[in-house]
Structure 1
């Protein structure tokens, strides 16, 4: 082929010319053009060099599409149209890629916009998201997220030795993030967590406090000078309040005239403080002197009854309880967490004693602030002696 002259190729309508000096491989670089007719007039358009990726076959494919589109009167009908369409397609793809979110990005927005404003447990969400979800599925784009990725997440957190309850919480958080992404339009189709099988944790506590243990615990607390730990546990034992509810109590919540304690929940809910609503606990003589003494220590109506040393709200009962357990030896050699004695066992004891005394489950449910009767029924299993006595009635 003579240098710098266009010559025909074996492909109809495709011509090329060789560069005078530049090589592409062992041959001179070639420049390709295509020819076709528009309204009976011949039109020629340049494509590019072989060194830019062009070939006779590729040029022929473009020409064939243009000729077909001209005949049908649709689509790109010139090389310029093709290039503009390609540029627009690439622009749309860039916009779509910028709009796509990874699971990590969606999770961060979920926690900031929803979890912090609507969930008491949002700090747990932050921890589970950072430690367990992000490392496994954080970098996956939402639209690429599949059931197999969630199965992998479940497998990874299981191999970490986490409890069934924690694994369930991790999967629940992943599901909530995906539903939030669907609502925001970041994820299309079904929630990928929808088909996962959640573990069923057994957190039912089997430990409660006997009358003898009650005496030993509070006597030791007094002797060791752990007055706050003593008072917190006493309040839980005789009102059934959760630790978090006790820590949030202020002076104005306690009414010694009406003998009641207002347990405040979040505004707008009505199923107990754990779910967000409010309820009432009742002051009996067992706890009245203790409350009178504590109220005398604080003058402000909004002052916390059991503050931390710096005046802030407590997050846990503190080390004194652990010291008491160590001295009493109640948890020595006990590996099953359901059988270990913890501060929550005083609330458990409150419910168990009420049921043993014949209090209706619906009443106990209301006093505990449970959202459903099934949760309250967990406390009925402690009454084995009553079952044995009932069986003797058949003799």
Structure 2
């Protein structure tokens, strides 16, 4: 089989077939292999890159496009695959990836998350860089992640007790609690709020950024996803709380609603207090409670996903058991209508 590699003609051959038909069939195999490599880069510097070298390029590219926490997770993922650091990308096989997965001492969720990052790195090596033709992550067996059957929520009674306690002991935690409770915003989104984002006249909150507080440094970053940029309604009960809060005439940096230097402390206070209602409860369960309350009261999945800043598919996946309840209710309603 003759083919052109750049500017040079080369040949690939194999002998020892018993019949011409076998030889012809193997010829098709050679053609497929050549098709995979024909469009690969001719840049020798790229072709010789090791996993670590290319992964560092990937991290550098991502630095300006993802949040600090996401970038940190990417770095942890690359570190977890350090055993293939010095292997050329073109020489890495599925067996190498499988060996790393098998030896990783982490939770199934973490292993799967790291695998997705590394798989993405190899995908970029295929397109647009054309260093390799196949992703060695394809076909690798991953540990099964047990699906959580129940999303932990907090009752209105417990939330009211919680709010009363926090109002007296930790005012900043109280106001964070109320904003998160009645909007479903992520913790970093609540702390990214400025008074300019809050329109009390029209009862609207604009979510357009998030705040990160790392090693004493405050930074504003893009929202977690493009879907996370959204406008949220302010219910009357939260409107009253925010109007009351404004009377305190507190002034924080960047006209922030909450004191950014209290962020980690507030999270700790809330998590500690919530433990008495359930071992696995944390500040993030305020978001779960908001979402499930909307679904339980008849809001459709598309609307709920827009308010959460998630995709409908993610809402369905996370709150599937609530959707099942809604289906059962719909079934009963249809039975009653046509009875």
TM-score using structure 2 length: 0.71
Deviates more, 1:366-375 or 1:198-207: 198-207
Q: Hey, which of these two has a bigger chunk of helix by percent?
A: 2
CA contact (8 A) 2:166 2:173 kept: yes
Structure 1: runs of 5 or more not aligned: 1-94, 267-271, 335-339
What is the alpha-carbon root mean square deviation over aligned residues? Answer: 3.3
Structure 2: runs of 5 or more not aligned: 1-42, 211-221
Report the Cα distance in structure 2 between the residues aligned to 1:372 and 1:389, rounded to whole angstroms. Answer: 19
1:126 corresponds to which residue? 75
1:364 corresponds to which residue? 304
**Matched position secondary structure for 1:117:** coil
CA contact (8 A) 1:244 1:315 kept: no
2:38 corresponds to which residue? none
Inter-CA distance 185–274: structure 2 relative to 1 (3 Å threshold): closer
CA contact (8 A) 1:252 1:301 kept: no
Report the Cα distance in structure 1 between the residues aligned to 2:301 and 2:164, rounded to whole angstroms. Answer: 32
Inter-CA distance 200–260: structure 2 relative to 1 (3 Å threshold): farther
1:195 corresponds to which residue? 139
Larger Rg: 1
Inter-CA distance 122–353: structure 2 relative to 1 (3 Å threshold): same
Q: CA deviation at 1:382?
A: 4.4
Q: CA deviation at 1:239?
A: 1.0
Query: Does residue 288 of structure 1 match 2:232?
Result: no
Within 5 A, what are the aligned runs for 1:1-395? 96=44, 100-113=48-61, 115-120=62-67, 121-130=70-79, 132-134=80-82, 136-157=83-104, 160=105, 162-183=106-127, 185=129, 187-199=131-143, 201=145, 202=147, 205-223=150-168, 225-264=169-208, 273-277=223-227, 278-296=229-247, 297-298=249-250, 302-309=254-261, 314=263, 317-326=266-275, 329-331=276-278, 334=279, 340-376=280-316, 378-379=318-319, 381-382=321-322, 387=328
Report the Cα distance in structure 2 between the residues aligned to 1:343 and 1:215, rounded to whole angstroms. Answer: 15
CA contact (8 A) 1:237 1:350 kept: yes
Q: CA deviation at 1:375?
A: 2.0
* Paired residue total: 277
TM-score using structure 1 length: 0.61
Inter-CA distance 363–316: structure 2 relative to 1 (3 Å threshold): farther
Q: CA deviation at 1:283?
A: 1.1
Q: CA deviation at 1:203?
A: 5.2
Inter-CA distance 383–211: structure 2 relative to 1 (3 Å threshold): farther
**Matched position secondary structure for 2:119:** helix
